[in-house]
Amino acid sequence: MSPQHSRTRLATIAGIALTAALALTACGSDEGSDTQGDNQSAAIPDVEISYEISEETEEVSIDGELNSDQPAAWVISEGDGEPIAEDDLLEVHSANIDIENQEILSHDFDLGGMTISMADLQAGNPQTYEAFLEAPVGSDVAIYQPENGIYQGAPAVLNIATVDRVLPMHATGEPVAQSELNDALPEVTLDEETHAPSIATPEGEAPDELVVDVLKQGDGREVQPDSKVTIHYRGISWSNGEEFDSSWGPDNTGSPISFDLQSLIVGWQEGLAGQQVGSQVLLSVPPELGYGGQDHELAEETLVFVIDIVHSADPMPAE
């Protein structure tokens, strides 16, 4: 195996390890979670890790043997920003580390990073949740998976995640003047407390083409066609105004959700690409750009969505 192929394989495994560590699937009972937390404290390796990534520098140093047979997550450098709360949404940048050679294999610091819902992380991985809860903004968190930890035969891998900031749970851009909006689309009102949108029942004939109305103009990162987006959304059918999907939930307390833009309906792909983070967008999606041609109950429906763009990140380039 060539050195370059080996680096690529290890970087891929490290990326899988980070995904596993941040997996948002349930892990059993509360009692099991407490036990995992106790094991986590005992499993923190006795090593010192120094780490820096900037435009000029990519350095990592591991002082000690990182060879524990238990997974672990712990703070290696404490930031001086705001503390993390149990229901926060975080922007996190990460790097995949070659433990043996003490090298940074890959990182996403210039790609927009990733989002982590603390509420989902608590349910899915209490060990990693506890580490992030102890990591104020600006902290570096080491996430370690032992040999065979990802799959049989996998090498030990290390990720370092930097807590960049706490993200808002809704669009924070400047409201666009009513005179600039398309009056053929239904009115949108916002809950003063939760900022959740409500969409009035549409009137008249549905547009034949995709219509995009920017309700709030953000000034953040521009969404690319292949971006991973974190959004809050609500969707109704044009024909009857009934809600069929929402990340807000019935009580407007839901959390934003992350998607690969290319995995979504064409209307979202075309309507969100080019928009900026912080924007709130109203879309009218005709059937052919929605679920038309599919065995789907909404196949013949024009769909109306209000989408808050909370975060966007570019994909990690292939090695």
Confidence of residue 106 (pLDDT cuts 50, 70, 90): confident
Q: At what angle do helices 126-133 and 30-43 cross, to 10 degrees?
A: 60
- Where do the domains of the chain lie, and which CATH numbers do they carry? 3-167 (3.10.50.40), 174-313 (3.10.50.40)
CA angle 180, 228, 209 (to 5 degrees): 40
| 143-189 pLDDT per residue, tens | 998 887 777 888 888 999 999 999 999 999 999 998 899 999 999 99
Instruction: Provide the 8-state DSSP code for 214.
Output: E
Q: What's the mean pLDDT in 85-105?
A: 92
Percent of the chain with pLDDT over 70: 85
Instruction: Provide the 8-state DSSP code for 296.
Output: S
Specify the range with the lowest mean pLDDT, choosing from 24-28, 126-130, 232-236: 24-28
Other CB atoms within a 10 A radius of the CB of residue 78 amount to: 13
Does residue 318 have a pLDDT over 90? no
Confidence of residue 18 (pLDDT cuts 50, 70, 90): low
Contact 51, 76 (CB under 8 A): yes
Residues sharing a CB contact under 8 Å with residue 87, sequence separation 6 or more, in sequence order: 118, 119
Rg (CA), the chain: 22
What is the model's pLDDT at position 30? 40
Cα 301 to chain centroid distance, Å, stands at 29
Contact 72, 130 (CB under 8 A): no
Q: What's the mean pLDDT in 206-215?
A: 98
Q: What's the mean pLDDT in 84-104?
A: 92
What is the model's pLDDT at position 53? 86
| 258-270 pLDDT per residue, tens | 999 999 999 999 9
What is the model's pLDDT at position 317? 63
What is the model's pLDDT at position 88? 96
Query: Which residue's structure tokens are 């891929």?
Result: 12
Q: Buried b vs exposed e over 258-284: b needs ≥16 C-beta within 10 Å? A: beebeeebebbbebbbebbbbbbbbbb
What is the model's pLDDT at position 6? 46
What is the model's pLDDT at position 27? 34
Average pLDDT in the chain:
87
Does residue 202 have a pLDDT over 70? yes
User: Can you tell me whether residue 172 is helix, strand or coil?
Assistant: coil
> Could you tell me the pTM of the whole model?
0.83
Confidence of residue 13 (pLDDT cuts 50, 70, 90): low
| 1-12 pLDDT per residue, tens | 444 444 455 555
Structure tokens at 110: 């210039």
Other CB atoms within a 10 A radius of the CB of residue 43 amount to: 18
| 23-69 pLDDT per residue, tens | 543 333 343 334 344 444 446 788 999 988 887 888 999 999 988 88
Query: Residue 5: enclosing H or E segment and its boundaries?
Result: helix 3-21
